Amino acid sequence: MIDLVVTSAVALLVTIDPIGIGPVFAALTRGSDPAHRRRMAVKGVLIAALILFVFAFGGDFLLRALGIGFPAFRIAGGILLLLLAVDMVFARPSGLRSTTESEREEATHRQDISVFPVAIPLIAGPGALTTVVLMMGRAGTDPLLAAAVLGVLAAVLAATLAVLLAAGAMTRLLGVTGTNVISRVLGILLAALACQFVIDGLLESGIAG
């Protein structure tokens, strides 16, 4: 169980990336009053939590409905997370966990940014959704392991909310360089985890081994 908890914590912290989201949220809410920033942070995290928990419980059913085997999903998810890891190591913006230029421009004209871009794609992006389904797949039918994964997800979301509420102060403290250093270190860990997902998928499919 400890191995699954640690793996889930690392994967979710990297793909959701609370520290990386902080500066983006601070920029999107620049000029807003504190009450509005708090409201957007709480609402955005709650909506993202709903989406992620729905995927956690319904991801396996969705895969079966589409005729996709879990080994194939492990391989595809591992490749997707590896691409994200490469962007993190080189400190490049990634559409897997951030908004595009056109999306950022659209968001600046919105009063309510909780659904887009805060909940989707900043928090519940493709990388986070993929990770949740993969981690629940590792838990299998063991309710205790599944509860552990969901507990880790809840803890990461709580940490994300704390970062968003303190986004302005954290951005000033870390700066661009500090944020990039943390992102690069986490990117290396995610790259190794992504490769493990691909290896596991190949072994389960019978292609390798």
In the chain (209 residues long), the average pLDDT of successive 10-residue segments reads 91 87 80 87 96 92 85 83 80 60 58 85 85 92 94 97 87 74 77 84 78
Retrieve residue 13's tokens.
């912290």
- Is the distance from CB of 164 to CB of 25 less than 8 angstroms? yes
Gap between the Cα atoms of 113 and 110, Å rounded: 6
Q: pTM of the predicted model, to two decimals?
A: 0.75
- Is the distance from CB of 84 to CB of 96 less than 8 angstroms? yes
Residue 102 C-alpha from the chain's centroid: 21
Instruction: Determine which helix (DSSP H) or strand (DSSP E) holds 136, and give its type and residue range.
Output: helix 126-139
pLDDT at 104: 58
pLDDT at 14: 85
C-alpha angle 2/180/106, rounded to 5°?
A: 105
Retrieve residue 116's tokens.
């887009």
pLDDT at 27: 73
Retrieve residue 204's tokens.
């389960």
pLDDT at 95: 56
